[in-house]
Amino acid sequence: MSKGVQLDFGLGDAELPPMTYIPGFLDQARQDALWAEAGRYPFESPSIRVYGKWHPIPRQQVWFADPGCDYVYSSLLVKALPWPPLAARLRAKLERELGFVSNGVLVNRYRSGEDAMGFHSDDEPELVPGSDIASITLGASREFVLKDKLTGRRLSLVLNSGDLLLMHHPMQQHWQHGLPRCKGVGERLNFTFRLLTPGFHGTAIHGTASGSAERPAKLTGKIDR
């Protein structure tokens, strides 16, 4: 059973975002195997519309989830693809060791330090209210920045390969997070495990049709994240 590390931003407990940080949650062998599996994931950089113009998001992503767990993310409807074996095994490890239950994982691929994610909160309506998010890093170390929605105050920590960050409810209500560009770094993968309300977007919960390789529908996007 892994233990969380106390993050010290020089603040009192009451001012800290509710998070648990577990460095080295994945050992090197697991990291290597997952990295190799991810080499076969069908990553895409869907385009979103910002102020009337279409732009590919500055990273690649793929969404694996249980049937019926389609996700509107960055204003795009993303169909649930079936779980690859090692991503499913990692989901089971989180549940077994930490009691963390999820039914989908968004895998973000940052091809270099030029890829990034803007400030946002994971507060989509299909996420089960009160649920937590588990984020696992592979590859290059990157700065993960948090911004207090009320005061604008920023905190940051460096996420290294194999680290786990649990973002507990109600962090998404009060804080935004993002991954700024960072010159000269290599590829990084991030697995964020989430719990969705199955069937939220009216898709079938039973049957096999949901794991299609259909391209995500393009909807109007207001944010670049």
Q: Between 12 and 184, name the residue whose CB sits nearer to ligand AKG.
A: 184
Residue nearest to ligand AKG (CB): 190
CA-CA distance, 27 to 166, in Å (whole number)? 18
197 labeled binding residue: no
Site for ligand AKG in 82-121 (CB under 6 A): 106, 108, 117
Tell me: does residue 144 bind ligand AKG (CB under 6 A): yes
Q: How far is the CB of 59 from ligand AKG (least distance, A)?
A: 8
CA distance 195 to 202: 16
Asked whether the beta carbons of 198 and 103 are under 8 A apart, the reply is yes
- Cβ 138 vs Cβ 165: under 8 Å: no
Cβ burial of 186 (10 Å; 0-12, 13-18, 19+) is exposed
Question: Could you give the string, one character per residue 159-188, with x where binding to ligand AKG holds by CB under 6 A and - elsewhere?
Answer: x-----------------x-x---------
Distance CA 137, CA 65 (A): 19
- Judged by CB under 6 A, the residue of 60, 135, 176, 210 near ligand AKG is 135
Which positions make up the binding site? 71-73, 108, 110, 120, 123, 177, 188, 192, 194
